[in-house]
Amino acid sequence: MMVFLRRMVIASAALAIVATAPALAVDYGRWFWSTSNEAKPLPFTECVRRAPAAMTAQGFTPHVAGTNPAYIDATNGLVSVTAFCVGQPKGFYMVLVVMSDDGSKSALSVGNAINAAFWGADSNGAGGGSDATGAGGSWQLTSNCKFVGSGWQSTLDLTQAAGGALTGMVRNDPLTPVVVGGQFTGTTMTLTLRPADWADNLQLTGELSGSRIAGKAHHLGGDDCTFTMVRTAGSSA
């Protein structure tokens, strides 16, 4: 079993000595993505190229080790990030772990920013382009929704009909939802998901700008949160 980060355990006697000092609460987040089920998955080399670049874009200086799996880690102040890129016969999977003791930088916000930079990177024609239109294609979704763990994340494969109707399927999602339906009109996407074992639907409403759709997720009255979807492949006018 791989251990991402090891933290020092402080004896209770030592804690008593520094009882007046402010305690640091570790903020932890974990993300997992897989491209192995995509029709034209990004190659493993793209994972190794994009992960360090995405970390660098957030102010980190990453170190890369290994071949397959490739291990990328970096620390900036009180925030540590670790990523594993694992090549598969078709595509790759990536695990990203963020730990933060910085009260001004949550693990969720840092991880979502790294993921957005990762999937929004130019791949020389293999996904992530900014010239595609419509909501069709494959999307990586990150959010600050606390439905599960440190923030709901998902992979959506959407198909857009000529009139803008959306259908599709969802992968890499702990909620295991189905796509009930949706619509894309102008630059606005509405999408309805039904998570397994939920009594009601999850409603997404967002605006397309370049290769991203950003907006709000609605579930009941007090569960509203925000999401970002980054296109990784495909398009539909």
Residues ≥6 apart with Cβ < 8 Å to 69? 84, 85, 86, 87
User: Which CATH number fits the domain that encloses residue 105?
Assistant: 3.30.160.110
Tell me what percent of the residues of the chain surpass a pLDDT of 90: 15
E strand intervals along the chain: 27-34, 63-65, 70-76, 79-87, 92-100, 137-143, 153-160, 165-171, 178-185, 188-194, 202-209, 212-218, 225-233
pLDDT band at 102 (very low <50, low <70, confident <90, very high): confident
| pLDDT average, residue stretch 45-66 | 88
- What residues make up the domain containing 171? 137-233
Distance CA 68, CA 44 (A): 9
Q: Same domain, yes or no, for 146 and 60?
A: no
Answer yes or no: pTM beyond 0.85. no
Please tell me the total count of domains within the chain: 2
Residue 19 has pLDDT above 70, yes or no: no
**Percent share of the chain, pLDDT over 70:** 81
Q: Are residues 95 and 155 in the same domain?
A: no
Confidence of residue 52 (pLDDT cuts 50, 70, 90): confident
62 vs 1, which has greater pLDDT?
Answer: 62
List pLDDT tens digits, range 151-193.
888 889 899 888 889 999 998 888 899 999 999 988 899 999 9
- Do 105 and 145 have their domain in common? no
